[in-house]
Amino acid sequence: MRPLAAIFMRDVRLAIRVGGGGGIGVLFFLIVVVLMPFAIGPDLALLAKLGPAVLWLAALLASLLTLDRLFAGEHEDGSLDLILMADTPLELTVAAKAAAHWLTTGLPLVVATPLLGLFMNLDGSAGAAVALTLLAGTPALTFIGLIGAALSVALRRGGLLLAVLVLPLTVPVLIFGVAASNAAIAGPPPFGTPFTILCALTLVCMVVGIFAAAAALRQGME
């Protein structure tokens, strides 16, 4: 347990200290949301209708932003080889890194969502509903991104390839995240159905993402 806690704490510290870029994701999230009214016009009714979709898309792009550095630093300084050779199962190490990544990029987005919802003319309860769906859905984005990060770790222009590989896989999460938000705000379908499917997707992505990412790291280092 101790090596996992050490890796987790190390990643969190690296993200929040100078040069880590943990806050940049939230800043990017804020800017994308602020740009939207310039693109679609300041019509408040329209903004409220598009609000959940805009918040979800912005969160998706923001969580993608920091993924390419997930294993790249370890690859460059060689500690990835040490992690691969260690006694701790690689799957658990990968899971610890994913948890640290979500805590430093996913959770801040969730916290910022009710505030940014005000920009999109979503009132308190609607903003809280979107935040709740993001809380359930952003771990899935991290776990899917884990696969792309592990596949593209040793590549030049890995970041661009990562987006191309990861984005099609996020379609189900996006669909049910926005569907659950819309159901909570406007109805008529009940909130529970899409929300439970969203939670199920997160669990599936957790299993698939961790094992696929560990397999990808192993094959990449052979």
Partner 1 sequence: MAIIDLANPTRFLGLAHRALPWLSEITAAVFLVGLFLTYGAPDDYQQGATVKIMFIHVPSAWLGMFGWALMSVAALGTLVWRHPLADVAAKAAAPIGAAFTFLCLITGALWGRPMWGTYWVWDARLTSVLILFLMYLGVIALWRTVEDPSRAARAAAILTLVGAINLPIIKFSVDSGNTLNKPASVIRLGGPSIYPTILVPLLVMALAFTLLFVTLHIAAMGNEILRRRIRTLRLMQAQSAPGSGE
Minimum gap (Å) between residue 122 Cβ and partner 1: 19
**Contacting partner 1 within 19-38 (CB under 8 A):** none
Task: Say if residue 89 is preceded by a cis peptide, omega within 30 of 0.
Answer: no
H or E stretch at 117: helix 107-119
Number of chain positions touching partner 1 (CB under 8 A): 29
- Closer of 108 and 137 to partner 1 (Cβ): 137
Under the criterion CB under 8 A, does residue 165 sit at the interface with partner 1? yes
**From CA 164, how far away is CA 123, in angstroms rounded?**
34
Nearest in space to 141 (alpha carbons), one of 25, 17, 16, 1 = 25
Under the criterion CB under 8 A, does residue 176 sit at the interface with partner 1? yes
For 76, residues 6+ apart whose C-beta sits below 8 A from its C-beta are: none
Give whole-number Cα distances, 161 to 68, 105, 145, 166, 183, in Å.
10, 20, 11, 9, 34
Minimum gap (Å) between residue 24 Cβ and partner 1: 26
**Contacting partner 1 within 181-200 (CB under 8 A):** 183, 189, 194, 197
Question: Contact with partner 1 (CB under 8 A): which of 20, 21, 159, 220?
Answer: 220
**Contacting partner 1 within 103-162 (CB under 8 A):** 147, 151-152, 155-157, 161
The tokens for 156 are 């030049």
Under the criterion CB under 8 A, does residue 215 sit at the interface with partner 1? yes
**Concatenated DSSP letters of 56-97:** HHHHHHHHHHTGGGTTHHHHHHSHHHHHHHSSS-HHHHHHHH
The tokens for 191 are 């909130």
The tokens for 65 are 């932003």
Minimum gap (Å) between residue 144 Cβ and partner 1: 9
- Closer of 110 and 144 to partner 1 (Cβ): 144
What are the residues binding partner 1 (CB under 8 A)? Answer: 147, 151-152, 155-157, 161, 164-165, 168-169, 171-172, 175-176, 179, 183, 189, 194, 197, 201, 204, 208, 212, 215-216, 219-220, 222
